[in-house]
Chain A
Amino acid sequence: DSGVTQTPKHLITATGQRVTLRCSPRSGDLSVYWYQQSLDQGLQFLIQYYNGEERAKGNILERFSAQQFPDLHSELNLSSLELGDSALYFCASSVAGQGNGELFFGEGSRLTVL
């Protein structure tokens, strides 16, 4: 158990819909990262937050948005969903705001778009 909690674990929805994925970081961790992993693919960096502020952005689509709240939990919003958005979405947390510390990953949210 990494201490990072992601909900929901599984989500099935239709094209054009909007979903929200939630992540609670480990206690004491200020940084939250979101990654997308398509079937048998690598981990695509989406976005990073540190203590409520956006710190780095990857190849995140304009249809996707995220935020980190004062209690440090984070949400990833995916809208106008397409079939290609089906993937495993991982949240990870770390103590520091810089990418030079261990990332602790949650178990992921598996999104299926039909």
Chain B
Amino acid sequence: GQQVMQIPQYQHVQEGEDFTTYCNSSTTLSNIQWYKQRPGGHPVFLIQLVKSGEVKKQKRLTFQFGEAKKNSSLHITATQTTDVGTYFCAGSDVRAGFQKLVFGTGTRLLVSP
């Protein structure tokens, strides 16, 4: 079945450093979504990418969808302590016709002041 892996599993950075998490799917995706889950909280939607090679920015966050629509990345510039949490990508297998949104394994980010 469809598998979505993320690397790294965990990253600890100093405030002000950059951070990147990578998302890789075993199958071609219809779209990719990114969510953030704060410690003790629930996942919150960040963004959705649909087109091959698409790049979107939200302030210090840059999201990219790969040309083959099988991978994605989230880059945070100059991290802040408020960025702490686990970042999940989620995608739908193109063969499944948008059904069954599968979440990646997640990357936990810790930011030290």
Chain A residues with CB under 8 Å of chain B are 2, 33, 35, 42-45, 48, 55-58, 90, 92, 98-108
Contacts and interface: CB of A to CB of B under 8 A. Distances in A.
Contacts of A98: 92, 97-99
Size category of the binding interface on chain B:
20 to 34
Contacts of B103: 35, 42-45
B29 to A, nearest CB: 10
Residue of A2, A35, A42, A99 ringed by the most chain B CB atoms within 10 A = A99
A43 B43 contact: yes
Given A100-B31, A100-B92, A108 B42 contact: yes
- List 9 tightest A-B contacts by C-beta distance, closest first: A98-B98, A99-B101, A56-B99, A43-B103, A56-B100, A99-B92, A105-B42, A102-B45, A42-B105
Contacts of A58: 100, 102
A55 B97 CA distance: 11
Interface string B74-100: 000000000000001010100011111
A104 B99 contact: no
A33 to B, nearest CB: 7
B44 interface: yes
A45 B102 contact: yes
B30 interface: yes
A42 B106 contact: yes
Contacts of A99: 30-31, 92, 98-101
Contacts of B44: 2, 105
Contacts of A2: 42, 44
B50 interface: yes
A57 B100 CA distance: 7
Contacts of A90: 42-43
Contacts of B48: 100-102
Contact of B100 (A48, A92, A102, A108): A48
